């Protein structure tokens, strides 16, 4: 639509002898109830036209129609100039923009972006909160790649620490040699089982100590189990062979489990970082900060930064015993990542509970003069809550990722069987269909909402498969494929006689032309929700067109071939758009 902007600038210059910039021009989609496809808001022009909004609109409209062959007509309602483009213009858009293979393919922009997401703890299986994180991270990476970035997907695995020791200790005490092989339990679930068990026994000990007269805080510190876990962590850090061996064994179980979950989720990573490697990093940066007088040392030898001038607090960056805290590690890891890849941008897909941490992290790096810190961004998303409140792994009140995916597939299966349309499918095709529909419903459900909003998930209400959902869009795609299959080969030459568009056809082409712009917006906003909502609108447009316009029984050959090409284009954009969300689309369902 750039040419309309350019022509409007000329019109304003010609009619009112005023120079304005493109930013002063307010173009929007024409609302359905009015004639036209693009609307120019004329209120801002009245300042220098010295005429009513209506009159200004009429003058600009007449000028545009006169100057541009693409403009077939216009109407003015109040301060809104609705511009109608010639059908010929939309046909050209379809044939020379949308249908070619390079539609919505962005050239490489020469920029490199890292997306860190998932970042699980290796003491328990993934839950619904992780699912949101994974889908968001993967989708944003896809969108950025589509927008021309070189993308590196990373996973910073939190594989050490007291929480891991809790699982290890519980297994050692009560596991009786249980393994994934012996129990048939997925490795991550097995580790999680002992994490929960630890917490249960720990709580019993706390209660016992409280009954013996200790305060809550004392009891928490003095419980034998927590002391043992802490001791184990020290042994781990000291490199104790037996502890390391157990750690490695259990982590391997967990990784095998995660790999399976990631595969089902359809997410992947280019590079793994392990906290067991990175937790000692960052001390160089502390030295650097001390030299630059950005950090200061307190009497007890701990190192701090004073951020009160920036409206934040004093923050500890190194413990008095010289060991790292979370911030120390993250400073070091940020530097490590940059050294490894020299990326222009780096996204951290992490929940909004860590907003403050990242604010501080980025600020410190900027204060240290790291120019690359300008490219750091915390992609913060809202928590997933249950009606009963927050999910807590150690209390077992979580919606497990594997269970949830299995339930979604089951729901998809029941629905598909009830519809009775897949009897002719092979068993493999059926299973694949249940998977992509179940996952499509789940992914769409989680991605269609603005990432920063918190999400309420009711496990008792199954995720919808009708209406504004993934399966609705998948269904639209399957329907398009079905028509195309029945029609045989697409022949563009046979469609050229078709010149006059039906309203639904024009609306559909208009919607299709917006795809590249939507990708760009989604990449700038890091928001899969924009893609999700766009594809939904597009699918609705198609379904309307489909209902009102017979395709295979069209009035003549050119009409039929045009409608087939239009269907093909819609199918292509739906499929590409869904791929950006990490959602597969079926050929039939």
**Residues 206 to 265 in contact with RNA, rule: CB under 7 A:** none
Instruction: Please tell me the count of residues contacting RNA according to CB under 7 A.
Output: 92
Start-to-end CA span in the chain (Å) = 37
How far apart CA 107 and CA 489 sit, in angstroms, is 30
Q: Which is nearer to RNA, 257 or 382 (CB)?
A: 382
**Residues 16 to 35 in contact with RNA, rule: CB under 7 A:** 26, 28-31, 33-34
Q: Which residues of 387-420 are buried (b: 16+ CB within 10 A; e: fewer)?
A: eeeebebbeeebbbbbebbebbbebbbebbeeee
**Residues 429 to 458 in contact with RNA, rule: CB under 7 A:** 433, 437, 448-450, 452-456
Among 257, 289, 375, 471, binds RNA (CB under 7 A): 471
**DSSP state, residue 500:** P
Among 412, 523, 531, 578, binds RNA (CB under 7 A): 412
**Residues 39 to 58 in contact with RNA, rule: CB under 7 A:** 39, 41, 43-44
Q: Which is nearer to RNA, 99 or 483 (CB)?
A: 483
How far apart CA 390 and CA 144 sit, in angstroms, is 31
Does position 352 bind RNA by CB under 7 A? yes
**Residues 324 to 343 in contact with RNA, rule: CB under 7 A:** 324-326, 329
Q: Could you tell me the smallest distance in angstroms from the CB atom of residue 113 to RNA?
A: 21
Check: CB of residue 56 under 8 Å from CB of residue 42. yes
Does position 419 bind RNA by CB under 7 A? yes
Give me 496's structure tokens: 């050229």
Angle, CA 204 vertex, CA 199 and CA 208 arms, to 5°? 145
Q: Could you tell me the smallest distance in angstroms from the CB atom of residue 174 to RNA?
A: 23
Q: Which is nearer to RNA, 43 or 296 (CB)?
A: 43
Q: Could you tell me the smallest distance in angstroms from the CB atom of residue 437 to RNA?
A: 5
For the chain, give the number of residues: 589
Q: Which is nearer to RNA, 158 or 558 (CB)?
A: 158
How far apart CA 187 and CA 533 sit, in angstroms, is 37
Does position 276 bind RNA by CB under 7 A? no
**Residues 495 to 524 in contact with RNA, rule: CB under 7 A:** 521
3-state secondary structure (DSSP) of residue 581:
coil
- The piece of 76-84, 137-145, 361-369, 493-501 that touches RNA (CB under 7 A) is 76-84
Give me 338's structure tokens: 């940059």
Q: Could you tell me the smallest distance in angstroms from the CB atom of residue 149 to RNA?
A: 20
**Residues 475 to 494 in contact with RNA, rule: CB under 7 A:** 475, 478-479, 481-483, 486
3-state secondary structure (DSSP) of residue 446:
helix
Per-position x/- string for 354-393, each x denoting binding to RNA as judged by CB under 7 A, each - no binding: xxxx------------------------xx------x---
Give me 328's structure tokens: 């120390």
Give me 213's structure tokens: 């007269």
**Residues 535 to 574 in contact with RNA, rule: CB under 7 A:** 536, 540, 543-544, 546-547, 549-553
Q: Could you tell me the smallest distance in angstroms from the CB atom of residue 517 to RNA?
A: 8
Does residue 166 come out as left (phi exceeding 0), alpha (psi in the -120 to 50 range) or beta? alpha
Percentages helix, strand, coil for the chain (3-state, rounded to 5) are: 60, 15, 30
């Amino acid at each position: 639509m750039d040419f309309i902007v350019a022509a409007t600038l000329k019109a304003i210059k010609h009619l009112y002898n005023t120079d304005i910039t493109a930013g002063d021009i307010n173009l929007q989609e024409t609302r359905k109830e009015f004639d036209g496809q693009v609307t120019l808001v004329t209120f801002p022009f009245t300042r220098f036209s010295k005429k009513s909004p209506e009159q200004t609109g009429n003058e600009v409209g007449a000028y545009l129609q006169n100057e541009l062959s693409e403009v077939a007509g216009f109407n003015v309602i109040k301060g809104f100039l609705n511009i109608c483009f010639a059908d010929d213009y939309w046909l050209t858009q379809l044939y020379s923009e949308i249908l070619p293979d390079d539609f919505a393919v962005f050239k490489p922009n020469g920029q490199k972006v890292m997306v860190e997401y998932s970042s699980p703890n290796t003491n328990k299986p993934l839950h619904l909160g992780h699912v949101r994180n994974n889908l968001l991270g993967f989708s944003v990476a896809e969108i950025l790649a589509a927008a021309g970035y070189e993308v590196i997907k990373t996973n910073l695995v939190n594989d050490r620490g007291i929480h891991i020791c809790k699982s290890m200790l519980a297994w050692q005490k009560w596991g009786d040699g249980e393994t994934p092989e012996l129990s048939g339990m997925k490795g991550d679930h097995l580790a999680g089982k002992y994490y929960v068990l630890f917490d249960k026994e720990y709580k019993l000990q706390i209660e016992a100590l409280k009954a013996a007269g200790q305060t809550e805080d004392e009891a928490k510190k003095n419980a034998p189990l927590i002391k043992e876990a802490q001791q184990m962590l020290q042994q781990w850090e000291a490199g104790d062979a037996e502890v390391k061996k157990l750690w490695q064994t259990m982590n391997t179980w967990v990784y095998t489990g995660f790999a399976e979950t990631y595969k089902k989720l359809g997410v992947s990573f280019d590079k793994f970082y392990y906290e067991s490697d990175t937790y000692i990093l960052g001390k160089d940066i502390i030295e650097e900060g001390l030299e630059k007088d950005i950090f200061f040392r307190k009497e007890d030898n701990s190192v701090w930064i004073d951020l009160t001038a920036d409206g934040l607090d004093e923050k500890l960056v190194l413990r008095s015993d010289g060991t790292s805290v979370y911030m120390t590690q993250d400073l070091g890891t940020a530097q490590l990542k940059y050294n490894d890849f020299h990326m222009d941008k780096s996204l951290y897909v992490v929940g909004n509970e860590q907003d403050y941490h990242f604010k501080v992290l980025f600020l410190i790096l900027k204060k240290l003069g790291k120019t690359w810190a300008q490219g750091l961004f915390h992609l913060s998303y809202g928590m997933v809550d249950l009606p009963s409140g927050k999910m807590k792994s150690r209390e077992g009140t979580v919606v497990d990722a594997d269970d949830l995916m299995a339930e979604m597939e089951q729901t998809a299966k029941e629905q598909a069987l009830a519809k009775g349309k897949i009897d002719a499918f092979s068993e493999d095709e059926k299973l694949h269909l249940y998977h992509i529909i179940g996952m499509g419903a789940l992914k769409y459900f989680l991605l269609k909402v603005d990432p920063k909003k918190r999400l309420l998930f009711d496990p008792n209400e199954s995720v919808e498969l009708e209406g504004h959902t993934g399966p609705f869009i998948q269904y639209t795609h399957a329907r398009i494929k079905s028509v195309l299959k029945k029609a045989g080969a697409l022949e563009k030459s046979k469609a050229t006689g078709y010149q006059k568009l039906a309203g639904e056809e024009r609306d559909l082409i208009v919607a299709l032309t917006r795809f590249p712009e939507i990708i760009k917006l989604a990449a700038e906003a890091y928001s899969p929700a924009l893609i999700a909502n766009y594809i939904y609108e597009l699918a609705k447009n198609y379904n309307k067109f489909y209902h009102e316009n017979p395709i295979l029984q069209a009035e003549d050959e050119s009409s039929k071939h045009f409608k087939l090409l239009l269907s093909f284009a819609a199918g292509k954009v739906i499929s590409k758009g869904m791929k950006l969300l990490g959602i597969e689309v079926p050929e039939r369902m």
